[in-house]
Structure 1
Amino acid sequence: MRSYLIEDLVEADVQKVKKAFDDMELRGPLEGIYYLPLPDDLLQKEQIDHKDECGPYFMALEVVDGASEMSEFQLKLELLTRARNKIRCSCVNYATPEQRKHMIEYLDQFLDELEISI
């Protein structure tokens, strides 16, 4: 899996991120998983064609909470465009360069606005 990983976060910063995403109602079905929506103007043609059946589209962000002494606090953004209404479809695939760039910049700006230095 391709991903964008932000490491060496402190617990207080991770709690800020989780609260902000919870407030935005982006929580996924599993603890520590958030669904970051992908703007419609970045969708590929097939994703646009499948939007009503498969969409909306998002990228998953995992908050790694450092529960064990061997792990650390991290944010892991999967660079896979997922569809909320279908797990398997040809419209679910690795992010295009434009989608990747947008979502990485979105996450970086989000952290900056929360005054979290990375």
Structure 2
Amino acid sequence: MRSYLIEELTEDDMHSIKARLLEKGFKGTLDDIYFIPFPQEMLNDEQTEHAAECGPYVLVLETGQDSIKMELLVRGKGRLRCSCISYCTPEQRNQMIDFLDNFIRELDIPV
């Protein structure tokens, strides 16, 4: 699995991150799993065509004891398996990594 990992976060950092993820409504169906909405304008052609059946599209973020890991797989919440589910393109990857970096920066967490 391709992912973006940020490690060595403090307990206070993790509390702040989890609180903000909950505040934004990103909570997933399992403990420590969050769904980061994927921007509509960044969808590839097939994902756009499948949006009604397979969307909304998300990236999964997992919180650990002192880390967060964002999978770089664009998933549809409407279907578990479909040809539209794919790894991020370089442009998508860069935008989503920037999103997570900015999210952390807004919480004044040095990484």
Q: TM-score if structure 1 supplies the norm length?
A: 0.93
C-alpha deviation, 1:56, in angstroms? 0.5
Q: How does 1:60-71 map to 2 (within 5 A)?
A: 60-65=60-65
Corresponding residue SS for 2:80: coil
Unaligned 5+ segments in structure 2 are none
Which residue, out of 74, 81, 92, partners 1:81? Answer: 74
Which residue, out of 102, 106, 109, partners 2:102? Answer: 109
1:53 and 1:87 map into 2 onto residues whose CA distance is 11
Percent pairwise identity? 46
C-alpha deviation, 1:98, in angstroms? 1.2
C-alpha deviation, 1:19, in angstroms? 0.3
The residue that corresponds to 1:53 in the other structure is 53
RMSD after superposition: 0.5
Q: Which amino acid aligns with 2:88?
A: A
Q: Which amino acid aligns with 1:109?
A: N
Corresponding residue SS for 1:17: helix
**2:38 paired with 1:43:** no
The residue that corresponds to 1:11 in the other structure is 11
Q: Which amino acid aligns with 1:83?
A: G
Q: TM-score if structure 2 supplies the norm length?
A: 0.98
C-alpha deviation, 1:99, in angstroms? 1.0
C-alpha deviation, 1:61, in angstroms? 0.4
**Number of aligned residues:** 111
**2:95 paired with 1:95:** no
